[in-house]
Homo-oligomer: A and B are copies of this chain.
C-alpha cells in the first residue's frame, strides 16, 4: 500500500485515529481509499494534518472555524454576503446624508441577501 494506514498516520501526526475519521467527516481532510475501503494517508495528507494542528493551536481556533472558512472559499455567495455585512461600516462615510447612505446600504444588502440573489 502506498501511504500509511489510519493508525500509522495517527502515530506520526499526533491526531487520534478517531479524529482522523472526524476530520474526514467534516470535509477537512479527505484521504483516498484502497479498493477495499481502507484510508490511505500519503505525504500530502500527513503534511496537511500536521499544519492543521499547528494552525488550530497557534491561533486558538476550532475545527468548525476552519470548516466555515472552507465554506466561504467554496460558496462565493456566502463570502459576498459576509464581506458585505462587514463592509457596512458602523458609521456612515462623511459627506453623505445619513438617510441616503442608509437607503444605499439597504439596497446593497437586498441585492446580496434577497431571495432573488
Contact = CB atoms under 8 A, between A and B. Distances in A.
Interface residues of A, number: 39
Contacts of A92: 44
Contacts of A75: 59
A47 B102 contact: yes
A64 to B, nearest CB: 7
Interface of A: 30, 43-45, 47-48, 51-52, 54-55, 58-59, 61, 64-66, 68-73, 75, 78, 81-82, 85-86, 88-92, 98, 102, 105-106, 109, 113
Given A44-B91, A47-B102, 13 more contacts: A44-B102, A45-B90, A47-B106, A48-B88, A51-B88, A51-B109, A54-B113, A55-B85, A55-B113, A65-B65, A69-B72, A69-B82, A69-B86
